[in-house]
Each structure stands twice: as C-alpha cells, then as structure tokens.
Amino acid sequence: MGERLSIKTERDEQQLFNSRAIIAALIVLLALTGIIARMYFLQVKQNAYYTNLSLQNYQHRIPIAPTRGQIYDRNGVLLADSKTKYVIQVVRDSVSDLNDDGKRNYSDIDILLGQLSGLVSISEKEQRLFMQQLRKTSRYQPTVLKENLTDVEVAKFAVNKPRFPGVDIEVRMERNYPYGKVASHVIGYVGRIDERDMKNLNRDEYAASTHIGKTGVEASHEDRLHGQTGYSLHEVDAHGQYKDLLDEKPPVGGQDLFLSIDMDLQLKAEDLLKNERGAVIAIDPTNGEVLAMASMPTFDPNLFVNGISHKDYTDLRDNPDRPLYNRALQSAYPPGSTIKPMVALGGLQEGVIWPSKTTYDPGFFQIPGNKHRYRCWKKSGHGAVGIDRAIAQSCDTFFYDMAYRMGVEKYSNFMRNYGFGQVTGIDLPSESPGLMPTPEWKQKRYKQIWYPGDTVNIGIGQGYWLATPLQLAHAVATTSMRGIRVKPRLLHAVRRVKNEPPEVLPPEYLPKVVLKNPHFWDLSINGMINVVNASYGTAKKVSQGISYTMAGKTGTAQVFGIAQNAKYDAKKLAKRLHDHALFVGFAPASNPKIALSVIIENGGGGSSVAAPVARAMMDEYLLPKPALDPNAPAGPPKPVATLVNNTKNSKQPRER
Amino acid sequence: MFNNLLPPIVVQILQRLDLVLLSALGLLIFAGGVTLYSASDMSLEMVYRQGLHFLLGCSLMVVMSQVQSKTLRQWVVWLYGIGLVLLVLVLVVGETKKGATRWLYIGIDIQPAEMMKIAVPMMIAYYFSEKSLPPRLIDIIIALILIFVPMLLIMKQPDLGTSLLIAVSGLFVIYLAGMSWWLIGGAIAFIAVAAPLMFHYGMHEYQRQRVLTLISDDVNVLKEGYHIYQSKIAIGAGGLYGKGWQNGDQSHLDFLPERHTDFIYAVFGEEFGLVGNLALLSLYLFIIWRALYIASKGEDTFGRLLAGSLSLTFFIYLLVNTGMVSGVLPVVGVPLPLVSYGGTSIVTLMIAFGIIMGMKKRKRIYQTDD
C-alpha cells in the first residue's frame, strides 16, 4: 500500500509529521522549563528551608553541662562546691542478644563488658561489684557500672552509644554544702529542675543541666553560678550512627561567688541563737555588705540536692518553728522601740520637735478631747524628757506626742525614705516589704478610716507597722552613716575565671536620707550611745567592760496574730505569747564598722535578751581575735549565751 | 572523514550512526557514571557494572542502527504478537517479586513489558504507515485497541508506571500521525473526567497513597512521603551551585532511599545544584530535539512515526522521573533515563536510539567511492 502512495501524499505526510514534531519539540522545551522552574523554587527560593532540614537530618547536637560555680565566704571559706559526675549504667533488659543464642542472659552481659572495656576502663573490682549489683536489681532498672568517668571515656562512649543499647551515661551533679545547717538560708540550695523551673528558664542554656538554684544565693545568683552550656555537634546517618565530630564548644563554668558573709561571725550568730527562734543581721554600713545573716532554727541544705525524702520534707515543713523560713527577710515584726532614734529624726526634720524641746511624761499620753490613756512602759512616768532621754530611756509618751503632732502622712513618708515598707533589694529571693501603714492602705485593707490613735501607736513602732529584721539593720546602718543608704547585699566578689583573683563588686547606693540640719544626726546617735553607755540607758548593762563605743536601741514587740495550735502544751503556749526581744545598734559609734539588728521571738525584753547578743557579735567582729585552737572554730563557751537564758524570766519592768 | 582510512564495512556502519546524537549520549552517559560513582558511595564496582550495561546497550544500538525501515516492518507483527503472548504467560506462570508479577524465567529472568515499550509504538506506527494520513477515526480506534490490550495486561501485573508509559508511547504515534486537534482536545477532556474515577475504583491502595502523597505534600513525612521528603531536602539543600561532587550529605548519610536508581536525580541536584540541573536538562533537551530531527528525516512514514514516538517516550521518562524526584508528580518507578543504575532500562533505551538512527533516510554510500 505504502508504495502506491503518490508523491504528493508522501510530501503531505512529511509536512504533517514535521509540524507535529515541531509542536512536540516546543512542548518538550516548555515541560523542561517547568522542571527547571521547580528546581529554582526548591534550590534557590526554599534553599534555606531545606538546608535547615538537611542539617536537622544529619547533625546531632549533644549539650554539655557547665560546672556550677562555687560559693565562698568573704575570706575564701568554701560554702558550696559542685562536681559533675558521669556515671555509666546498664539496663539489663535493654541489652541486645550479643551471643545470638536467641535469649538475653548474663553471658550477653559478659560480652557487653568485654566490648565496653575498649572504651571505658573497668577494673575487676568494679566488674565484680557490678555483677553482684546487677543480680539484685530489677532487669528494667539501671545498674551503675562505673562512677566518675573521665571526659575522654564519656566522649568515646558517646560516639559509640548506638552500638550499646541498654547502656547509658548519666550526668550527676553533686552539690555539697560543707557547713551543713550554717548559713543555709543565705546560701540556699539547688534541686532538680522541675516543671515550674522549665517555664522560666532558657531551655537551650539548661539543655544539659539537671539542677538549678532553688533558694538563697543559689537561686538569686543562678545566672552567675550556672555557667554556659557547651555542645558537641556530631554527624549522624539515617540509622542514627555517629560519623564525625563536626563542631565542639566546651562549656564555660559558672562564676565563683565570694559572699560578704564572715563565716566566723555567722557561726557566732548562729551559736548565740542556737536555742532560739530569731534572726541576727550584721551589715557593714559603709558598703552594705551583709557580714552575717542568721535565721534560727535552720536546716541542712544537703538534704535537698538529690531530692529530699518525703519524711525529711514533712518534718521541716510541719515544724512549728518553721526552719525553712528566713526570718531575716521573710518575717515582718512590729519594730517596737528600735525605731525611736529614726522617728526622732523625723520629728526634728518636720519641726514638731527641736533640740531643746521637752515633753512631760506623767506615765501616759492622751489625745486632746479623748479619755483613752496611751501608757508609757514606765507607769510612774519619766517626768520632763528631751530627745536624748526619750531615746536612751525609750520614753513612749514623748514619741506618742511627737507622732500625734507630726501626723501619719509626714511620719510614714519619712520612714519610707528610710526604707521601711519596701524591699531593700538585697540579692536574696522572697524578701518581704514589711508594712509602713498609711490611711490609704488602711482604707483599702480594712475599709476603715485612719484614727489619730493609729498614729499614736505607730509612734512607738507598734500598731500596723511591720518591719523585717533586715530593714531594721539597714535603717540602723543608714543612721550610723548619717543618711547614706547602701543597698544590702550578699555578693562581695565574683571570680569569672578560675585561678584568677576575684573581682570585688562596688556598693550600690540608694537615695540618701537628707536632713535640713546635719546636727540632728548627732542628737539621734548620742541618744543611741546613751542607751548603751549612760547610767540611765535602758541597756547599760551590756556595755560592761566594753572597749569601743557602742550605740544601740532596745525594743520589745508585743506578740499578736500568732495562730494558737491546740497541740501545744500550756508551757509552750505561754512561751509563744512572750514579747519579741529586739535590738539594733552599731559600733564604733564615730567610725561605724558594723551595724546590726537582733530579734529573738518570744525572747522577752530587748535590753536583757537581744542586747547581749548584739554585744557578743560586735566583740566577735571588732576585737582582735585570740589565737584559736583550729579544732574549735566556734570559739570558747560563751557566757553571753548563759546570760540570755538566765535573764529570760526576769520580773524587772521592761521598756518598750 | 576517516572514510579512506577505515575498511568499507566500518565506514558503512559509521554512516548509519548519528554522530551528533552519539556524542550527546556519550556526554550524558559520562555524567551519569560520575553521579553514580558518588551515589553509590564511590563504588567502582557499581560503575563498572553500569559500564557493562552500556557496552551491551551500545552494541545493540549499533546493530539496530543498521536495520532498515523496511526490514523492521517485517518483524513488527511478530514482535507485537510474541510480546502479547509473553505478557499473558507472565500473568499465568510469572515470577512474583515484591508483590508484583513481572518476570518470566526462560533461563534468565526477562521482563516482557520492557520489550513492549518498543513493540507497541512500532505496531501502531506500522498500522498507520499502511493507511493514508491523517488517520480516520476508525483507524484511531483500532490503534487504541492495539495499545490498550498490552497496557491492561501490564497493569494487571501490577505495573502502573510501565503500562502508562507504554500507552503514552503508542499515543505519541497517533499524535504524530496527525490525529485531529479536536480529537486530542476531547481525549484530554475525557481523561480529566475519567482520572478521578480511576483513582477511586481502578487503583491499588499503594498507588492511591502515592498520588495522595503528592497532593498532600509534606504531611505524611515519615510514612508514604519519606522518599519525596528526603529527595526534596537533598535537592533544596543543594542550592545554586550544589554541595560539590561526593559531598551530598543526604545521599552519603543514607537519608535518600533508592539513591543510585530512581532517585539519582536528587543526588545530582544536591551535589551540582541548579547550575548542574540546568546543564543536565539542556543536554537532555538537545538529545530529544536531535532525535526528533532525525525522526523527521525518516525514510518513510513508519520510520518517522516510530522514531518520533521513541524520542518523545524518552522525554516522558525524563519528565516523569524529574517530576517525581522534585515532588510535582507521583512516585512511579521510572528511572532517570541513561543515568539511573540498572541494565534493563539502559538496554531498552539504547535499542530505541539505535532504531531512531536506523530510520534515517539512507544516503548513497557509493558516492564516497568516487
């Protein structure tokens, strides 16, 4: 048939084919252009996206935890150290059938140990102990094969890990507090990172960390202590096998902290309060450094490091003496008479009293037109008193009258400038702001108006006014420095690089208390000197045999609002209704080196119970130390402590 | 050229070959070997075996290039008939591997479907060469029957990819024969309607999954979409210039499945980037155009239609593979022509190129003797 086609048909068919072929050729071009467009989209437009996916595919980043910084006192006494410990352990059930007999049994473990010994050195003793332990442990639980692996062993194993199902390296951080219960409220403790911590922290930075500071300096300086997490970046294939080490960044250890705490003074403070509930805070008034901060009773932070047992925790939590509570800054007490030297300054500043001003004290104060008598602690009255005797003898009537005439606004305002009613900003968590009451506050809190009597009460540090022991220490330090306020702090110095000298941090100044006449400071400070040193001073006994000038102020706070628990026996209940004993002071008066506040809950009178503690603290800090027997760092038995016990039940009238 | 230096028989053989097409193919084969070396993790053995495939393929190409159109026409009906018989035999006594019955054991394993890739377009070209063109509707219907019988037999194996490619190669003959555009438009419309029905009632679950994978893109990454997902990562991460030869992380770290066979294009894309792709596809385009050009110089209608269809089928292989690897077409087991590792496909393709060359209008070889 084909042969019979005419030439014309043949030419037509050729042309038909040619046109179809040309169209096809164009379609081919179009389609391949489409593929190239697709390639352009993938390789240029979405290149970053796919590059990222590719990296995720084949790169494994293993975070490496930094070593936590250590904590020392100001003299380099170790308070907290930490070691990162690598532990290799085996879960028997997950070990593969290495001898191919279809069963997993102890002979597989023998083979496993043989294979592992090329990577990790395992002594015969470790091997024996491990096999013993393995037989005792559930097949699903890990058994420790070797503790304290070297970095090289860890690295070697990490690369070969896919070969060893059931074998794991656990990082254990061992935080240790060598002084145990001492200064535990200050140092705090670390604990395992829990879900609440996870919400707040940078997960990348904590990718390898197991612990985090929970309280105290451990928590407030977590950023400095933690350090920077490092990593190693491995190439990994589709089967999870590690190929090459691509990149590595070693972790940077945390900073070592040198606290302002003087451990000798801290030990002294805790010893002085060892049978009490209370707090002692000693501050260097020139720079705000806290030299001692004791809150008693206390607790052992080591219990918390690797998870506290349920029983230990319940014991601490349910203890009526609340050992976990840092009384120095979490508890707010009525400051009582301790604030009289500062209150007097407020009166002078506002002009309601003046240097020559005297007030007659008949033993009570009455608001004009009102019959209610606000009693002075001395029933017979002090007679005519000026500023000096009002402070030294703690005359209530003088301050009732002064506060009444000053008015609550000016009064609260002045005390606020002193730092009351607000946190000091110390570098510890959970600080209470206390309470410096105002009419607005009372209206909001109690839906009641402010009565003039409320002003009279806060005039002697009672009523609604609440202050933390730290605020009192800060206030007395401010007074000693004639108005210069330094933020209290616990961090004295930091060491960023191991073996380098620590860098001392500068003090942080707060707004000054400025008086219109600097001479006013002398009036207040002299009153405080006379509290301790004058024959008429409320705490004159405490200055016996003293070799420096001590200034101070006693205080006694009425106890109220203590929840009464039926479990307590009558004796204990009675004890809990005793007044709190307070004392604030500083020394030497002309050149202050230490300012402190003491509170002993239900201790009784400030002069008899709290003042001797203050004196003992100042002696410890200011007097040259006798050559101590190094085996007895806490010092010889303390007569002061005996004195505290003996005077507790004294029937003498006490000042407020 | 070398006419005076070489024995006349060699000159005669060489004159039957298209040296331009041959050079382009050589370049492509070289590029394929280079890529394969990297994709197989520097396995020289694999490259060597691929070389043997090409050696066999080239020999058969040279042989086929010597076969004239009129000789081939005498074989057509036999080839087609035997192919059909073998396809039926496969379904009855064939060997089953991986859930598909595609092989027949006759001393060695053969895949009759592979033979039909050439026999079907040949049969249709032969049928039309006996008619006057453009074809009448009745001729088209007969041609369609000739296409669909082997297609259905192969679909039964099941081997959807091959059956569709064979159908396409037959349809290309009908197109080149001059089927009216109206009919083409109607057919396309029909397919647009029939395809969804086909999807629901005519497909195996795994085939449906493949199509779904394509449509739903990255949703089911770790199951059905794993191949495409990894292949897109490889290509996308390659960027403009690629990661460099032997530096493809996706392939060398085993993330890319079937990387020396169906997905070798992803390896190429990862290592040579968009620039490499552009070069490679340009080379393919050149080969296809050259083959179409040779087809248009065909001795007769049969030769033109057959050579044209085989050229376009080669293009369809390329399109389906690159479309699949770059995630725009479903996953069907189609290798990248002349680059993917595998003997069967290479031999078939080289035979096809031999046929294309053989269809070219003969010159009078005596002229050189002057």
pLDDT digits (tens, 9 = 90+) for A430-471: 999 999 999 999 999 999 999 999 999 999 999 899 999 999
Mean of pLDDT values over B55-82: 92
Q: Which residues contact A386 (CB under 8 A, 6 or more apart)?
A: A355, A356, A357, A358
Give the residue from A458, A405, A453 showing the smallest Cα distance to A435. A458
Taking CA–CA distances from A1, the nearest residue in chain B reads: B130
- Residues of chain A contacting B274 with CB distance shorter than 8 Å: 36, 39-40, 43-44
The whole-angstrom distance between B53's CA and the closest CA on chain A is 27
Mean of pLDDT values over B314-318: 94
With pLDDT > 70 as the criterion, what percentage of chain A qualifies? 90
Q: Identify the three-state secondary structure at position B361.
A: coil
Residue A347 CB neighbours (<10 A): 26
Pick B267 or A604 by higher pLDDT.
B267
Contact A397, A379 (CB under 8 A): no
The whole-angstrom distance between B322's CA and the closest CA on chain A is 7
What tokens does A180 get? 């145990």
Of B230, B236, B328, Cβ closest to residue A43: B236
Q: How far is CA B234 from CA A215, B107, B184, in A?
A: 50, 40, 38
Q: Where are the alpha helices (DSSP H) in A407-499?
A: 408-417, 439-446, 452-458, 469-480
Which of the residues A82, A337, A524, A607 is marked catalytic? A337
Mean of pLDDT values over B2-12: 76
d(CA A567, CA A263): 37
> What single string gives the DSSP state of each residue in A186-215?
HH--EEE--HHHHHHS-TTTTTT--EEE-S
What tokens does A48 get? 């970053």
Supply the pLDDT for residue A628: 52
- Residues of chain A contacting B243 with CB distance shorter than 8 Å: none
With pLDDT > 70 as the criterion, what percentage of chain B qualifies? 92
Of A28, A38, A47, Cβ closest to residue B239: A47
Digit-coded pLDDT (tens) for A485-517: 999 999 999 998 888 889 999 999 999 999 999
Cβ-defined contact of A237 to B323 (cutoff 8 Å): no
Residue A538 CB neighbours (<10 A): 29
Q: How confident is the model at residue B279 (pLDDT cuts 50, 70, 90)?
A: very high
The CATH number assigned to the domain with range A263-298+325-647 reads 3.40.710.10
Q: Does residue A392 carry a pLDDT above 50?
A: yes
Mean of pLDDT values over B115-128: 92
Q: Does residue A81 carry a pLDDT above 80?
A: yes
Q: Mean pLDDT of all residues in chain A? A: 85
Q: Identify the three-state secondary structure at position B280.
A: helix
Give phi and psi for A278, each to the nearest 5: 170, -170
- Determine which of A46-55, A317-326, A400-409, B326-335 has the lowest per-residue pLDDT on average: B326-335
Q: How far is CA A440 from CA A346, A450, A547, in A?
A: 21, 8, 48
Tell the residue number behind the tokens 């042309």, with chain if given.
A15
Give the residue from A391, A366, A395 showing the smallest Cα distance to A378. A395
User: DSSP letter at A44?
Assistant: I
Q: Does residue A639 carry a pLDDT above 60?
A: no
Supply the pLDDT for residue A2: 44
Is position A432 annotated as part of the catalytic site? no
The CATH number assigned to the domain with range A61-259 reads 3.90.1310.10
Q: Does residue B276 carry a pLDDT above 90?
A: yes
Tell the residue number behind the tokens 């004791």, with chain if given.
A294
Q: Which residues contact A413 (CB under 8 A, 6 or more apart)?
A: none
Q: Does residue A135 carry a pLDDT above 80?
A: yes
Q: Which residues of A444-481 are buried (b: 16+ CB within 10 A; e: fewer)?
A: eeeeeebeeebbbbbbbbbbbbbbbbbbbbbbbbbbbb
Mean of pLDDT values over B165-185: 90
With pLDDT > 90 as the criterion, what percentage of chain B qualifies? 43
Digit-coded pLDDT (tens) for A510-566: 999 999 999 999 999 999 999 999 999 998 999 899 999 999 999 988 765 334 343
Q: How far is CA A449 from CA A435, A440, A442, B236, in A?
A: 17, 8, 7, 74
> Residues A442, A448, A453, A454: what is their CA dihedral angle, to the nearest 10 degrees?
-10
Residue A631 CB neighbours (<10 A): 5
Give the residue from B259, B252, B261 showing the smallest Cα distance to A237. B252
> Residues B67, B71, B72, B78: what is their CA dihedral angle, to the nearest 10 degrees?
-130
H/E stretch holding A451: none
Digit-coded pLDDT (tens) for B27-42: 999 999 999 999 888 8
Residue B179 C-beta-side C-alpha neighbours within 13 Å: 25
- Determine which of A596-610, B87-101, B165-179, B349-363 has the lowest per-residue pLDDT on average: B87-101
Interface probe with A: pick from B322, B324, B334, B356, most Cβ of A within 10 Å:
B322
Structural domain boundaries in chain A: 61-259, 263-298+325-647
Taking CA–CA distances from A12, the nearest residue in chain B reads: B133
User: DSSP letter at A333?
Assistant: B
Give the residue from B64, B60, B41 showing the smallest Cα distance to B52. B60
Structural domain boundaries in chain B: 16-66+213-361, 74-203
Q: Does residue A604 carry a pLDDT above 80?
A: no
Mean of pLDDT values over A600-614: 86
d(CA B295, CA B293): 5
Cβ-defined contact of B253 to A42 (cutoff 8 Å): no
Give the end-to-end CA distance of chain A in Å, rounded to a whole number.
135
ipTM attached to this prediction? 0.89
Contact A344, A523 (CB under 8 A): yes
Supply the pLDDT for residue A631: 52
Give the strand pairing for A278-284 and A503-504.
Answer: unpaired
A18 touches chain B (CB under 8 A): yes
A463: left (phi over 0), alpha (psi -120 to 50) or beta: left
Q: How far is CA A156 from CA A148, A161, A217, A398, A522, in A?
A: 14, 9, 37, 79, 71
Residue B151 CB neighbours (<10 A): 23
Supply the pLDDT for residue A487: 96
Supply the pLDDT for residue B224: 47
Tell the residue number behind the tokens 């003898």, with chain if given.
A393
Helix axes A263-272, A611-622, angle to 10 degrees: 160
Q: Which residues contact A519 (CB under 8 A, 6 or more apart)?
A: A355
Pick A286 or A146 by higher pLDDT.
A286
Supply the pLDDT for residue A219: 93
Of B176, B289, B319, Cβ closest to residue A20: B176
User: DSSP letter at A489?
Assistant: B
Give the residue from B30, B42, B63 showing the smallest Cα distance to B354. B63
Q: Which residues of A386-396 are buried (b: 16+ CB within 10 A; e: fewer)?
A: bbbbbbbbbbb
The beta-strand segments (E) located in A540-618 are 551-557, 580-587, 594-600
Give helix then strand counts, H and E, for chain A: 24, 23
Q: How confident is the model at residue A567 (pLDDT cuts 50, 70, 90)?
A: very low
Helix axes A47-58, B226-238, angle to 10 degrees: 120
Q: Where are the alpha helices (DSSP H) in A41-150?
A: 47-58, 106-116, 124-136
Supply the pLDDT for residue A573: 53
Digit-coded pLDDT (tens) for A3-23: 445 556 778 888 889 999 999
Of A16, A29, A51, Cβ closest to residue B133: A16
What is the C-alpha radius of gyration for chain A, rounded to an integer number of angstroms?
A: 37
Q: Mean pLDDT of all residues in chain B? A: 85
Q: Which residues contact B144 (CB under 8 A, 6 or more apart)?
A: B174
Contact B268, B277 (CB under 8 A): yes
Tell the residue number behind the tokens 């389906």, with chain if given.
B320
The whole-angstrom distance between B13's CA and the closest CA on chain A is 26
Contact B180, B316 (CB under 8 A): no
Supply the pLDDT for residue A565: 40
User: DSSP letter at A588?
Assistant: S
Cβ-defined contact of A57 to B250 (cutoff 8 Å): yes
